[in-house]
């Protein structure tokens, strides 16, 4: 279980925000003619654009954390879907954005074969300051999370795994596991 001391805060600069918005726009434009494998809700351009820009910003916050710890994290900004956001020492990391602190980490049921991925919960409520709340493995999420049918809730549709914060682990543990780095500040 995470405590307030375990929360990691990263702040995006105006230049980083512009970069994330630009990359989010590219992601939206590249995906317009493809179906979304996870059926993440609305298929109109403004909603898709906002979703993708927000996704890139939470990924950017995680990248800042990695940079601060001198962890080499390959950030995949390509147009293909179904891939992790980051590869760190062959470990696959997917950053999931949440809008408010009270929201929980969601993982689509259709994400088969991702039991070995690490899922990070990142809150954007205080933009441009982002909170990396914690993480969990895909296999553990499947065991501990509830399955809820979210019909349009939080921009998602259909059944998905919903993980309560009590099951999140501290970010410093993730960095130690995948990069051998101990972050005593986080």
Q: What is the pLDDT of residue 32?
A: 67
Domain boundaries defined on the chain: 4-101+119-137+168-179
Instruction: Count other Cβ atoms within 10 Å, centred on residue 83.
Output: 11
Q: How far apart are CA 94 and CA 138, in angstroms?
A: 10
Q: What is the pLDDT of residue 17?
A: 98
pLDDT, tens digit (0-9, with 9 covering 90-100), for 15-45: 999 999 999 999 888 876 565 544 445 568 8
Q: What is the pLDDT of residue 109?
A: 67
Q: What is the pLDDT of residue 185?
A: 57
Question: Whole-prediction pTM value?
Answer: 0.88
Q: What is the pLDDT of residue 38?
A: 46
User: Phi and psi for 6 in degrees, rounded to 5?
Assistant: -80, -15
Q: What is the pLDDT of residue 83?
A: 87
Residues of the chain with pLDDT under 50: 37-40, 153-154, 186
Which strands form 105-108's sheet, in the order they lie side by side? 105-108, 159-163, 146-149
Residue 13 DSSP SS3: coil
Query: Which of 129, 139, 186, 148 is closest to 167 using CA atoms?
Result: 139
- The neighbouring-strand residues paired with 94 are 119
Q: What is the pLDDT of residue 82?
A: 79
């Amino acid at each position: 279980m995470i405590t307030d001391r375990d929360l990691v805060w990263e702040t995006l600069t105006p230049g980083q925000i512009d970069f994330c918005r630009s990359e989010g726009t590219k992601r939206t434009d590249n995906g317009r003619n493809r179906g979304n494998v996870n059926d993440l809700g609305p298929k109109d351009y403004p909603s898709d654009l906002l979703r993708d820009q927000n996704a890139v910003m939470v990924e950017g916050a995680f990248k800042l954390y990695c940079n601060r710890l001198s962890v080499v994290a390959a950030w995949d900004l390509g147009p293909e879907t179904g891939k992790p956001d980051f590869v760190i020492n062959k470990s696959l990391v997917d950053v999931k954005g949440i809008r408010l602190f009270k929201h929980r980490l969601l993982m689509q049921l259709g994400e088969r074969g991702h039991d070995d991925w690490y899922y990070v919960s990142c809150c954007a409520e205080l933009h441009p300051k982002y909170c990396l709340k914690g993480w969990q493995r895909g296999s553990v999420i499947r065991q501990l999370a509830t399955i809820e049918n979210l019909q349009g809730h939080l921009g998602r549709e259909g059944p998905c795994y919903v993980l309560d914060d009590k099951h999140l682990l501290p970010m410093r543990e993730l960095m130690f596991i995948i990069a051998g780095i101990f972050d005593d500040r986080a």
